[in-house]
Structure 1
Amino acid sequence: MVDDIELNRLFWHSRRGMLELDVLLVPFVREVYPNLDDEDRARYRKLLTCEDQDMFGWFMQRAEPDDPDLQRMVRMILDRVQPK
C-alpha cells in the first residue's frame, strides 16, 4: 500500500517542467503507481533520478535506456498511452 505522503512526494518529483514528460509521468504516478508491485515502484523511483533529456529521448523513442529496469518502466509508461 502506498501512503499519501509517498504519492505526494512522487507527484512533485514527476513534475519535471518539460510538458512532454509531465503529461506522461504525472498521470502515471496518480493512476498506475499505487497499483504497482514493490519492484516496479522501485523502478519508477529509479527512473525519476534520470536526467530529463535522457527521459525525453526514451519517451520520444529516439533512444533506449541501457538499464533493463529503466527499459521496463519506459515501456510500461509508453504502453499506457500508445494505441494498440
Structure 2
Amino acid sequence: MSEDTALKRLYWHSRRGMWELDLLLLPFLEHRYPDLDDADKAAYRALIEEEDQDLFIWLMRREWPENDALRRIVKMIVEYAETTSNDQYRTL
C-alpha cells in the first residue's frame, strides 16, 4: 500500500463523527502526523482504534491514557490544538 493510500485510510478512520474529536484529530493528522517518528505514528494509529468516549475523555484532558505511548500522542494532539488556537486568536 502506498504512503498516500495509507494516509487517506488513516484520515478516514480519524473522522469520528464527534465534532470535538474531528476538530482535534484531523488538523493534527494533516499538519503534524507526516513529521512524526515511526513510534509516534504507531501510537496515533493505535489511538484511533480506541472508543470515542475514551478519546473524548483523554482529548478533553479529563484523564490521561494509562499506556505511555498513547498518553504521549494525546498530549501532542492537545498541545498542537492549543498552539494553533492561540495562533488564530493572535491574528484577530
Is the structural similarity TM-score above 0.5? yes
Query: Partner residue of 2:27?
Result: 27
The structure where helix makes up a greater share of residues is 2
Give the superposition deviation at 1:3: 1.4
Q: Secondary structure at the match of 1:82?
A: helix
Query: Partner residue of 1:72?
Result: 72
User: Aligned Cα RMSD in Å?
Assistant: 1.4
Give the superposition deviation at 1:53: 0.1
Q: If the length of structure 1 is used for normalisation, what is the TM-score?
A: 0.93
Query: Partner residue of 1:10?
Result: 10
Partner Cα separation in structure 2 for residue 67 and residue 75 of structure 1: 12
Choose 1 or 2 for highest CA Rg: 2
* Percent of paired sites with the same residue: 51
Give the superposition deviation at 1:81: 1.4
Deviations 1:4-34 (A, max 9, x none): 1011001000000000000011111111111
Q: If the length of structure 2 is used for normalisation, what is the TM-score?
A: 0.85
Partner Cα separation in structure 2 for residue 29 and residue 13 of structure 1: 11
Partner Cα separation in structure 1 for residue 82 and residue 30 of structure 2: 18
Partner Cα separation in structure 1 for residue 37 and residue 53 of structure 2: 27
Count of matched residue pairs: 83
Q: Secondary structure at the match of 1:44?
A: helix
Give structure 1 regions of 4+ aligned residues with deviation exceeding 6 angstroms.
none
